[in-house]
Structure 1
Amino acid sequence: MKRLPCDGCRGLCCGPVPVTESEFMIIKKKIKSMPTKVLSELENQKRYYGTCIFYDLNKDKCGIHSVRPEICRMFGYYKELVCFREPDLATKSIEGTDKKEHVGILTLDFTWKDFTK
């Protein structure tokens, strides 16, 4: 399967990111297991307004990629979530997928303090 060309995007497509309660808990567990130095470097970055708090601008990639929310996994591959650099990859449709209830949006409803306390 062809992959998204995310290099150089600087997280501009990474937000706003709605999360479910189970995603929130999985991310929180991941954050608590990260080394303090890595966590501090990720937390203290200045991001573009609306960009996900977990986008690592220094490395130009998702800082929690292995536990990223479902919406992030869907981006670029669904017609409703098209990547402007590879629009042809968006062949699936969100209609008919399992719609889970979101409890908030990363950066807006949930900030670093919600994951580190």
Structure 2
Amino acid sequence: MDTLPCQGCKGLCCGPVPITENEYKKIHKKVKAMPRKIREALENQPRLYGTCIFYDLNKDHCGIHAVRPEICRNFGYHKDLVCFRKPELATKEQGTIKEKRIGYLSIDITWKNF
């Protein structure tokens, strides 16, 4: 599978990010296991309103990549989630997220929840 050119975007497409209860639990576990120094460095970065709280501006990538929500995994590969830098990768039909969403990272769910 061809990959997205995420380096250099500075999280422009990373938010708002809807998550489900199961995704929240996985993210919560990952955040609790983070070394304190890494967590604090990620938590204290200034971001534009709505940008995912886990987008690492300093490293220009997702700070929880291994447990990122399904919407993030689908981004760029579905026709309704097109990457503006590589739109030709968006060939899949609309995604089917069956589980109910509990809120949005950065808006409803913030660092205080972790």
TM-score by length of 1: 0.95
Structure 1: 5+ residue runs without aligned partners?
none
Take 1:21 and 1:50, find their aligned partners in 2: how far apart are those partners? Answer: 19
**Alignment-derived partner of residue 57 in structure 1:** 57
Change (3 A) 1:110 1:98: closer
SS at match of 2:19: strand
Deviation at 1:50, TM superposition (A): 1.1
Take 1:82 and 1:64, find their aligned partners in 2: how far apart are those partners? Answer: 21
* 1:76-91 correspondence runs (5 A): 76-91=76-91
Deviation at 1:98, TM superposition (A): 4.2
Are the aligned partners of 1:12 and 1:48 in contact in 2 as well (CA < 8 Å)?
no
Structure 2: 5+ residue runs without aligned partners?
none
Take 2:29 and 2:112, find their aligned partners in 1: how far apart are those partners? Answer: 14
Take 1:50 and 1:8, find their aligned partners in 2: how far apart are those partners? Answer: 18
Are the aligned partners of 2:77 and 2:89 in contact in 1 as well (CA < 8 Å)?
yes
Number of residue pairs the alignment of both structures matches: 114
* 1:9-88 correspondence runs (5 A): 9-88=9-88
TM-score by length of 2: 0.97
Provide runs of 4+ in structure 1 moved above 4 Å: none
**Alignment-derived partner of residue 98 in structure 2:** 99
The Cα RMSD (Å) is 0.9
